[in-house]
Amino acid sequence: MSDDAAPWLIVGLGNPGAEYAGNRHNIGFMVVDLLAERMRGKFKAHKARAQVVEGRMGPPGPANRRVVLAKPMSFMNLSGGPVTALRDFYKVPPDRIVAVHDELDIDYPTLRLKLGGGDNGHNGLKSMTKSMGPEYHRVRCGIGRPPGRMQVADFVLKDFSSTERKELDWFVDRAADSVECLIAEGLERAQSAYNS
């Protein structure tokens, strides 16, 4: 089990750059941006090719945890390198790593939390798993499947539709709440509260 002094590493998966900011593929970035805002932290460049915020999360007392929020700046398909470098730098055990990412096989706006498992064709997860194995937490933010014959790559790199945007703030807020619950109260409690 984890060393209690070790921080949690919460990684939002996405692509850097203004042109990707509103894409479905960038919901992980949106969630860690909100968590940083809640912690009153500002992202700073880290030598691991990532933007990070260090701080504390959770209620005062024993459930208050040291956390590092991270956004890899390497592009989605190469997320594993920066995440592994951050893991080594902060000495984070695998069961304290959380990847927040978009998930095609779950309807929008549905959340599912889990520990370990496959990558389901998600290139960010594939890169992380290749670099450090599959035993990290996932906060899977459902975006649903592309309509008609639209290619998956085109779908994930498009912004949320105007209909989806009506629920996006609520969805990102709920995903951020689920990360806080996971860290303060553990996976089972977070799953029973947020898995739908």
Region of 141 (left: φ > 0; alpha: ψ -120 to 50; beta: rest) is: beta
Secondary structure (3-state) at 165: helix
Residue 73: partners with Cβ closer than 8 Å, 6 or more residues away: 16, 45, 49, 50, 51, 82
Taking only the tens place, the pLDDT of each residue in 156-193 is 999 999 999 999 999 999 999 999 999 999 999 999 99
The rounded distance, in Å, linking the Cα atoms of 151 and 107 is 17
- First CA to last CA distance, the chain: 28
Would you state the pLDDT for residue 55?
96
Q: Tell whether the model's pLDDT for residue 18 goes beyond 90.
A: yes
Mean pLDDT of 16-40: 97
Would you state the pLDDT for residue 3?
59
Q: How high does pLDDT run on average in the chain?
A: 95
- Can 137 be counted among the known catalytic residues? no
**pLDDT above 70 as % of the chain:** 98
Q: Report residue 174 as tokens.
A: 């709920």
Mean pLDDT of 9-22: 97
Q: What is the pTM of this model?
A: 0.96
The rounded distance, in Å, linking the Cα atoms of 176 and 179 is 5
Among the listed residues 79, 80, 125, the one whose alpha carbon sits nearest the alpha carbon of residue 102 = 125
Q: Tell whether the model's pLDDT for residue 2 goes beyond 80.
A: no
Taking only the tens place, the pLDDT of each residue in 36-46 is 999 999 999 99
DSSP state, 186?
-
Mean pLDDT of 29-36: 98
Taking only the tens place, the pLDDT of each residue in 42-84 is 999 999 999 999 999 988 888 789 999 999 999 999 999 999 9
The rounded distance, in Å, linking the Cα atoms of 189 and 168 is 24
